[in-house]
Amino acid sequence: MATIINEVSRTFNEFLIIPGLTTKECTPDKVELKAPLVKYKKGESSKITLNTPFVSSIMQSVSDSGMAIALAKEGGLSFIFGSQSIEQQAEMVKKVKQYKAGFVISRANITAEQTLKDVLDLRNVTGFSTIGVTHDGSPNGVFLGIVTGRDYRVSRDSADKKVKDFMTPLPKLIVGKVGISLSEANNLIWENKLNALPILDENNCLQYFVFRKDYDNHIDNPNEILDDQKRLAVGAGINTRDYKERVPALVEAGVDVVCIDSSDGFSEWQKETIQYIKSTYNNTVFVGAGNIVDKEGFLYLAEAGADFIKVGVGGGSICITREQKGIGRGQATALIEVAQARDEYFAKTGVYVPICSDGGIVHDYHMTLALAMGADFLMMGRYFARFDESPTRKLLVSGNYVKEYWGEGSNRARNWQRYDMGGNDSLKFEEGVDSFVPYAGKLKDNLEITTGKIKSTMCSCGVLTLKDLQRESKITLVSSTSIIEGGAHDVIVKETKN
C-alpha cells in the first residue's frame, strides 16, 4: 500500500504569529526586506538580492515587460512568461534592459484607420488618455500621430469618425529621438508646454513617451533592483523542451536569471535542463527550479544545481491541479518542511539555496506568515494580475472593474510545456481556469500598503530583518472558531462609500 503521512496538510489560513517584544528600535522605517534570490556559499552573499521579497509569476496574464519594469523599480523581480515564441520573449527582456526611468513604453495604441469609438473603448479598457497612433497599432510601430482628450468632442464627433481625421499628426508634434536624456526630454516638455513627448527611433518608430505628470510626480526609487551595468534586473521562464534554443536567446537579450516553469519539479527533465545550462555556461547563468512540496524534492533539485527552488503544487488561485490529479500539499506544511531541509542542507554543505513560496497567498498577512515559515521570497500571480501594469484587459463586469486572469494550464494559455511529462506535444486536460480578479490600481500604491503591513508585523515581533523573523517569530495553529474571532464579529459594520 502507499506510504501514509498522518500529518495534516495545512494552509496559511490555519496559523497566526504571536507578538514578541517590540523594542524602541523596532520602527517600520528601520525594517529591511532584503532577500537572497540565488544560492551562495557560507560567508558569501547572493549574487542577486531582492530589496522587496516578491517576484511575479511566470504567466501570460501577469508578467510581461511592463510588469517587469514596474516591479524591478520597487525592488522585486518579474519572470517574463515563456509560453510565447523565443523571439517575443527575448524582445520583452530587451525592453526591460533598455528601459530608462521616465521613458514609458506606450500601452495604449491605435491605427489611423480605426474610429473614435475604438479610441473611447481603448481609453475605457486601459484608463490611458494619451494614445499613440502607429501604422499597425503596436507600441513600436511607425509613429503617425497622437490622440488626447483635446482632439475630439464626444458630443459633436461621430463615433465612426476615423482617427486620421482628428488626431494630431506627426508634422505638428514636437518629438524626441532615442538617445535623448531624461533631463533634455523634460526641458522640451516644459519649454513647449507639452503633456507628453513621443520618443522615436531613426526609422520614426515609437519607442517611448515621456510625460509631464511623471516629472511632476517623480521621486527616486531607492529600492530598484539593478544589474552591474545599472540596468533593471529581469528574469524569464523556460521549459524543459526548447531550453537549448531559448536560453541562448534570453542570455543574449540580457536576462539576469531564468526559472523552469513546471507544475512538477521533482523530475529528471528538470535535472537535465539545469545541468545542461550549468555546464554550457560554466555556472554563469542562474537557474531556478520547481515546483516541489517536500524534503526529497528539494534535495533532488539542490543537488542537480538549482540556484533557487520553488515550493507549492496546486495552491494557486487559478490552479485546479489538486482536484484534477489529486496531487499537491497544503502550502504551509510544504513550506515548513522544505525550509527545514534547506537549513539542514546549508549546515551540511555550506551552500544556501533560497526557497520561493509559490501559491496559497490569499491575504496580505499570509505573506508575512510564509516569510516567517522560512520562505526567502514569494512568487505571486493573482496579487500582481490586479494592477495597471499587468498585460491583461481592464473590464467593467456587473458594475465592477476587473482584470482578466487565467492559468497557464487553462485552454486559453495552452502552455502544455508547463505540464509536460514526455509524450505528445499537447495539453491533455486543464489544470488552470480562466477568470477575473478585482482591479486594484497601480502596483506602486498597493505594494506600499502590503510592505507596510509586513513591516508593522515584524515590528510587533521585535525583528528588523527577514532572517530574524524566521529565527525569532513564534507561530501558532488556530481553530476555526478563532479565525472567526479574528475578523469583525457581533457588530453591524457600517457600509462606507469610496
Instruction: Judge contact between 64 and 40, C-beta under 8 A.
Output: no
Q: How many residues belong to the chain?
A: 498
Q: Which residues pair with 290 in a beta bridge?
A: 310
CA separation for the pair 289, 292 (Å, rounded): 9
Strands 143-147 and 168-169, bridge-based pairing: antiparallel
Residue of 26, 319, 356, 459 marked active site:
319
Residue of 342, 356, 418, 461 marked active site:
418
C-alpha cell belonging to residue 164:
486620421
Q: Hey, is 80 helix, strand or coil?
A: strand
Q: Hey, is 197 helix, strand or coil?
A: strand
CA separation for the pair 7, 5 (Å, rounded): 6
Does the annotation mark 259 as catalytic?
no
Backbone angles phi, psi at 414, to 5 degrees: 50, 40
- Of the candidates 351, 439, 320, the one whose C-alpha atom is nearest the C-alpha of residue 387 is 439
Q: Who's near 132: CB < 8 A, 6+ residues apart?
A: 106, 108, 109, 110, 139, 143, 146, 198, 206, 209
Q: Which residues pair with 18 in a beta bridge?
A: 474
CA separation for the pair 194, 468 (Å, rounded): 50
Instruction: Judge contact between 48 and 401, C-beta under 8 A.
Output: no
C-alpha cell belonging to residue 88:
517575443
| C-alpha dihedral, 445 to 447 to 452 to 455, nearest 10° | -160
Q: Hey, is 484 helix, strand or coil?
A: helix
Q: Which residues pair with 280 in a beta bridge?
A: none
Q: Identify residue 460 by its one-letter amino acid code.
A: S
Q: Hey, is 297 helix, strand or coil?
A: helix
> Ramachandran region of residue 137, left (φ > 0), alpha (ψ -120 to 50) or beta?
left
Hey, how many other C-beta atoms are within 10 angstroms of the C-beta on 186? 20
Instruction: Judge contact between 88 and 410, C-beta under 8 A.
Output: no
Does the annotation mark 393 as catalytic?
no
C-alpha cell belonging to residue 171:
508634422
| Prior bond of 446 cis (ω within 30°) | no
CA separation for the pair 106, 123 (Å, rounded): 13
Place of cell 539555496: 353
Instruction: Judge contact between 437 and 386, C-beta under 8 A.
Output: yes
Using the 8-state DSSP alphabet, how is residue 40 labeled?
Answer: E
Catalytically active residues are: 319, 418
